[in-house]
Structure 1
Amino acid sequence: MNSGISVMLLPKGGAARRLALAVVSAWVSVAIIALAIVLQVIDATGSYSAAGLAAAAYGLAAALVGVPRSRLVDRYGPRRTLPVLGALQVVALLLMIGAARMHAGAAVFVVLAAVVSGCTPPMIGFARGRWAAVVPEEDLPRAYALTAMLGDLAQIGGAPAAALIATFLNPSAGLAAAAAFTALGLLLMIPQAGADRRPEPAPAARESRSVLGALAFPGLRTITVGGVGAGLGLGAVDVVVAALATARGDRWAAGLMLGALGVGGVVGSVLSPKLASYAPGSRYVAGLALLLVSTLALVSTPPGAVVGALLLVVGFAWGVTNVVLYELLDIVVPTSRSTEAWAWLSTAESVGAAAGAALAGALASHSLTLGFALIPVAVAAGLLAGLVGRRTLTAPAPAAEPTVPTVPAR
């Protein structure tokens, strides 16, 4: 069979290569779009306040719309929903460029930022579920590792890339690039008839839909709670590391220390397939345990070099855990709810990260030790959820919805 993933995570087979390129495009778009919006609003209005409101609208829309949007994809199928969402996002980005040319007011950019975020097609979540259709089952761990690694690389390089584009071209070029990568990702991702190894799963049934949706499955609840804890801890890292570097008069060192976190994440993602012989639930708990141990060592606020080394381990632990989450989603929810399940997990991590950043800032203003202490406490909560709900991470998801209150189809 020609499809698959090579030892170096490079895809083999036409369908797998197209999906890999689509994932690259999707991650690049996600990585540059938020900062590109901020830079565009600052350039157009001259107001940092307006830029902050636009960024807040972007983040709030992502949190509020992410799950309902993904439910649409699962319910009506990707062929009918992803192109529409992508087209709406591209149009909103172009309208923002036009608004900048016309020197529109801050309110226009805030509304458009919310529309851009709300219409973002959930390409990463869809691609995660799509790998099973284009690679053999034994190669899925490498495919998930590739997806996670690309996300880590995009996180490392996305903001600098957006800043460089705005500096050497203009802020509108960053928005245009985000629109182009969204369009390219969709063109590569929407499969052509007959391209799959097995037929695309039917959209989720419209009858007997659970009020909770995919969150009705116990395993998804377990990793979602864990995602809030891990996200809260990792969100706090950015703030307390920056505060530590500033307090010691080496503000520039914050970038190097946080860069170690990203490098560790890439290494963890790349090496995670080597651990695939162990059960996903066990690897998930072990990854969170390593994350806890490495973050506990940060509480003593050691020298910058030691912080960087510890953050390398933190990144490695999260990289391994993140890849395992891709696999667990195949276990804890049926395929027909995979896009929505990914949205729940992503939203939980994002909400946790936002809360972690806010709490860390408040704590670090009183004591750096308290700020660093928040990180392992949050991770410990996620680990506890994983330990308590470990049994929910081993049994395959049932074919039908769990028995919970339902709403009639409309």
Structure 2
Amino acid sequence: MNSGISTMLLPKGGGARRLALACASAWVSVAIIALAIVLQVIDATGSYSAAGLAAAAYGLAAALVSVPRSRLVDRYGPRRTLPALAAVQVTALLLMIGAARMHAGGAVFVVLAAVVSGSTPPLIGFARGRWSDVVPEADLPRAYALTAMLGDLAQIGGAPAAALLATLLNPSAGLAVAALFTTLGLLLIGPQTGPAGAPATDGADEPAADGPAPKESRGVLGAIGFPGLRTIAVGGIGAGLGLGAVDVVVVALATDRGDRWAAGLMLGALGVGGVVGSVLSPKLATYTPGGRYVAGLALLLVSTLALVPTPPEPVVGALLLVVGLAWGVTNVVLYELLDIVVPKSHSTEAWAWLSTAESVGAAAGAALAGALAAHSLTLGFAVIPAAVAAGLLAGLVGRHTLTAPEPAAGPSVPTVPAR
């Protein structure tokens, strides 16, 4: 392993290492929990319909609650909100395990799935906003790359891990592991939960006091009132729509050609490319974040355009490796831009807006690609670059917004310097 990668994987300082481990724990919990719920409901009720409703409730609650929940963290302070949310989520997971033992009806699992999703503590978004407190500014690209890479690895391994736990132990094991990693992430991140902006350097990881973060208000809109966040949120919808479509059309392609097993390999190439892109991203940090963001989307567009003619599976796999690489680079830049386009007092909420935009885009992309692929695989693949092109256009038009926001009118408020 070269020194650059090892430095990124092993950040200097106790606070940075705890934050990295907290990110890893939170990503593992998020990656396991959705499939673990589906497996538990099927095992307990024998109903695929109930499992589908529980999965839908989980996804809907995430979409509806993510931004308000993160806004509460920014407003009332993490020490008050993160433990409370974690306690509710862990309790709901344990209740779901108990309900399975009692062979409860499907409606119980649907309600609990919504509670589990709605109470998920935004540990990843909060941790992303705290990197600037625990590492030097020059090391921030590596820290963001590490966070993105951990997410990619968790997404690659999360579903297989949940299935393996259910097979070797019990479907409840996945829920128990998710609860364990949520708790572990909260404990690891605990020393960082002082007021936003209070440095937590290696010599002084504990902030002096807790409390709500200082605000730079944008009225009822909150973080989305900042133009730069709107720009990258629109880009997130486009990229999410394209990547959501990939999951469906790749499976459709493999099924249509009688090689369904190949879908896993092709999608695996996408995940591997994402990890490689995350690792390589810090090497490009000499260019401006706004420029790297637009360039990443441009590479994503070119690589997805090559998918439209529906080439053979090996070629699709190779192209998806490049698609994943482009998205890995772009995703890390998004972490940097969140530090630039909104003040730290809105950092957790800003992450929630971006995550929600990407999730909404992915859901829409999957649905649209599925409908089109039923008629033509070429049309299904065409959804991908079309969506990415929309995100790229938003990035080009709004590139001037990818800078530090102006102070809000009123009393003097410190601004966040552009990184």
Same fold, TM-score > 0.5, yes or no: yes
Alignment-derived partner of residue 268 in structure 1: 277
Q: Write the mapping of 1:33-112 to structure 2, written as runs, cut at 5 A.
A: 33-112=33-112
Specify the SS of the correspondent of 1:300. Answer: coil
The one-character-per-residue Cα deviations of 1:250-287 (angstroms, maximum 9, x if unpaired) are 00000000000000000000010000000000000000
Which residue identity does 2:117 align to in structure 1?
A: S
- CA distances 1:362-386 after superposition (whole Å, capped 9, x unpaired): 0000000000000000000000000
Question: Which residues in structure 2 correspond to 1:231-270 (within 5 Å)?
Answer: 231-270=240-279
Q: Which amino acid aligns with 1:342?
A: W
- Tell whether 2:204 aligns with 1:196: no
Corresponding position of 1:333: 342
Map of 1:143-158 to 2, 5 A cutoff? 143-158=143-158
TM-score using structure 2 length: 0.92
> Per the alignment, do residues 367 and 134 of structure 1 end up closer, same or farther by CA in structure 2, a change over 3 Å counting?
same
Residue matched to 2:113: 113
Mapping 1:2-401, distance limit 5 Å: 7-191=7-191, 196-197=200-201, 203-205=212-214, 210-393=219-402, 395-400=403-408
2:343 maps to amino acid: P
Q: How far is 1:7 from its partner?
A: 3.1
Query: Structure 2: which 5+ runs fail to align?
Result: 411-419
Q: Supply the distance in 2 between the matched residues of 1:300 and 1:287 (Cα, whole angstroms).
A: 22
- Unaligned stretches of 5+ residues in structure 1: 403-410
| d(CA) in 2 for partners of 1:273, 1:206 | 30
In structure 1, distance between residues paired with 2:49 and 2:274: 33
Whichever residue aligns with residue 397 of structure 1, its letter is: P
- Cα distance in structure 2, aligned partners of 1:257 and 1:82: 38
State the shift of 1:398 in Å: 3.1
The CA RMSD over aligned residues, in Å, is: 1.9
Contact 1:133 1:196 in 2 (8 A): yes
Q: Distance in 1 between matches of 2:80 and 2:399?
A: 36
Would you say the 8 A contact 1:5–1:11 is kept in 2? no
Letter in 1 for 2:377: L
What is the alpha-carbon distance in structure 2 between the residues aligned to residue 207 and residue 329 of structure 1?
15
Structure 1 residues 242 and 293: CA distance shift in structure 2, 3 A: same
Shift of the 166–367 alpha-carbon distance from structure 1 to 2, 3 Å rule, reads same
Answer whether contact 1:5 1:139 (CA < 8 A) is retained. no
Count of residue pairs the alignment pairs up: 399
Say which is worse superposed, 307-316 or 6-15, in terms of deviation: 6-15
Counterpart of 2:414?
Answer: none
Aligned-partner Cα distance in 2 for 1:151–1:249: 32
Query: How far apart are 1:5 and its partner, in Å?
Result: 9.2
- Per the TM alignment, residue 11 of structure 1 is displaced from its structure 2 partner at its CA by 1.5
Does the 8 Å CA contact 1:149/1:266 hold for their aligned counterparts?
A: yes
State the one-letter code of the partner of 1:107.
A
Deviation at 1:202, TM superposition (A): 6.1
TM-score (norm 1): 0.94
Are the equivalent residues in 1 in contact too, given 2:218–2:226 (CA < 8 A)? no
Distance 1:184 1:375 in 2: 37
> In the superposition, relative to structure 1, how do residues 401 and 117 fare at CA in structure 2: closer, same or farther (>3 Å)?
farther
1: CA distance, partners of 2:247 / 2:388:
15
> Cα offset for 1:399?
4.0
User: Secondary structure of 2:142's match?
Assistant: helix
Tell me, yes or no, if the aligned pair for 2:216 and 2:345 is still in contact at 8 Å: no
Shift of 1:396: 1.1
Distance change >3 Å, CA 141–CA 302, structure 1 → 2: same
Q: Is the 8 A contact 1:152 1:266 kept in 2?
A: yes
Identity of aligned residues (%): 85
Distance (whole Å) between structure 1 residues aligned to residue 46 and residue 322 of structure 2: 41
3-state DSSP of counterpart to 2:308: helix
Q: Distance in 1 between matches of 2:33 and 2:216?
A: 37
